[in-house]
């Protein structure tokens, strides 16, 4: 008897669950030849708001975790992605027309990218923080902290690697993310959400919306509980509009200087974009116990 395949219903990923859009809307996603692939959920403004509120809850847990723990969880994402490589190779070849070898390379690089960032979590303070030799009897240090809830607009071009490359640095810094998937890459994005859901990432730390970035972007850019925007996936006009909207609550905005080369080593700009530096001062007493000084 012929097996009739059971196609997946692609939904959103909010607060650790996979709900449909509250709007009930979907849009068709096609393969590279334009043939119907799936109906993806078309997220609404209300879904975006739900995602932000889930991310705020996720942020509390994720930012409170130890750096070592965050590194382990991100490494776990890499493990789970590795295990599902075949699924992603198929999604990439189907949706982009890439050769299997190219798609395999993309998946492998995405796994390596996650491992790279897993190793960053407990280095940030050493590399971007400082012990401050202030000219008064105080112990002073400056250390990076996560910015908060980051709305990430995923790029097109590399459905998995692009998404992983923009998401992983946000997570490595301790932030929570509301990801707006690239419109044609909804299936890959939700497949990655399934990886996240089985990777010890607490619900709400990453939330994935599929649908129209142009529709969702203004709401996220104006949302008072979104602390930062990554505009990588938006065109210049929409990005400029979001930058203007972000002024109302003085959001941090990251916009790469061009189209990122995700195949190359990523640098640290994306990490630094979503870190705050906090300086703490604590008295050491008027007299140094370590040594006398005549200066």
Partner 1 sequence: MIDFSYAAAPESAAIGRVRDRYLPYIDGEFVEGKGADLETVNPGTGELLSVVSTVAEEDLDVAVRAARTAFDGPWSRLTGAQRGAYLFRIARGIAERSRELAVVECLDNGKPIKETRDFDVPTAAQHFFSHAGWADKLEHLGLGPSPRPLGVAGQVIPWNFPLLMAAWKIAPALAAGNTVVIKPAETTPLSILVLAEIIADADLPPGVVNIVPGAGDVGAALVDHPGLDKVAFTGSTAVGRQIQRRLAGTGRKFTLELGGKGANIVFADAAQDQAVEGVVNGIFFNQGQVCCAGSRLLVQEPVAEEFLARLKSRVETLRVGDPMDKNTDVGAINSAAQLDRITALLEAGDAEGAERWTSSCPLPDRGWYLAPTIFEQASPSMRVAREEIFGPVLSVMTFRTPEEALAKANNTPYGLSAGVWTEKGSRAMAMAAGLRAGVVWDNTFNRFDPTAAFGGYRESGFGREGGPAGMRAYLHDDDEPVLARPASTGRDGDR
Q: Where does this chain bind partner 1 (CB under 8 A)?
A: 32, 34, 96-97, 127-128, 130, 132-136, 138, 140, 142, 147, 156-157, 183-184, 224, 227, 236, 239-241, 243-244, 246-250, 252, 255-261, 264-270, 272, 276-283
Phi, psi dihedral angles at 179 (to 5 degrees): -100, 130
Would you state the torsion angle of the CA atoms of residues 223, 246, 65, 56, taken in this order, to the nearest 10 degrees?
A: 0
Nearer to partner 1, 29 or 190 (CB): 29
Min. distance of Cβ 40 from partner 1 in angstroms? 13
Min. distance of Cβ 201 from partner 1 in angstroms? 22
Round to whole Å and give the CA distance between 167 and 169: 6
Tokens 């709401």 label which residue?
A: 219
Greatest Cα-to-Cα distance within the chain, rounded to the nearest angstrom: 94
Min. distance of Cβ 92 from partner 1 in angstroms? 12
Nearer to partner 1, 198 or 249 (CB): 249
Nearer to partner 1, 265 or 291 (CB): 265
Do you know the residue count of the chain? 295
Min. distance of Cβ 247 from partner 1 in angstroms? 4
Residue from 179, 164, 184 nearest 74 by CA: 164
Nearer to partner 1, 22 or 276 (CB): 276
Alpha-carbon separation of residue 163 from 44, 118, 146, 171 (angstroms): 21, 16, 20, 12
């Amino acid at each position: 008897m012929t097996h009739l395949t059971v196609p997946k219903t692609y939904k959103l990923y909010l607060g650790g669950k996979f709900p449909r859009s509250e709007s009930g809307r979907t849009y068709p996603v096609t393969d590279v030849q334009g043939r119907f692939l799936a109906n993806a959920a078309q997220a609404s403004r209300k879904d975006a708001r739900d995602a932000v509120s889930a991310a705020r809850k996720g942020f509390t847990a994720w930012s409170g975790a130890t750096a070592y723990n965050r590194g382990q969880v991100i490494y776990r994402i890499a493990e789970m992605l590795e295990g599902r490589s075949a699924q992603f190779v198929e999604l990439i070849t189907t949706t982009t027309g890439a050769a299997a070898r190219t798609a395999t390379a993309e998946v492998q690089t995405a796994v390596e990218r996650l491992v790279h960032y897993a190793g960053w979590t407990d280095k940030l303070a050493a590399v971007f923080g400082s012990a401050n030799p202030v000219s008064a009897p105080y112990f002073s240090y400056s250390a990076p902290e996560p910015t908060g809830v980051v709305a990430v607009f995923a790029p097109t071009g590399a459905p998995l690697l692009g998404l992983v490359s923009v998401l992983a640095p946000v997570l490595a810094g301790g932030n929570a993310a509301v990801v707006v998937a690239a419109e044609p890459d909804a299936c890959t994005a939700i497949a990655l959400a399934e990886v996240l859901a089985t990777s010890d990432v607490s619900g709400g730390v990453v939330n994935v919306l599929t649908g129209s970035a142009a529709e969702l972007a203004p709401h996220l850019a104006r949302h008072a509980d979104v602390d930062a925007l990554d505009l990588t996936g938006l065109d210049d006009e929409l990005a400029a509009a979001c930058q203007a909207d972000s002024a109302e609550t003085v959001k941090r905005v990251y916009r790469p200087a061009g189209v990122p080369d995700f195949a190359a080593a990523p640098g640290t700009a994306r990490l630094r974009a979503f870190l705050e530096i906090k300086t703490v001062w604590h008295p050491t007493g008027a007299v140094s116990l370590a040594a006398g000084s005549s200066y």
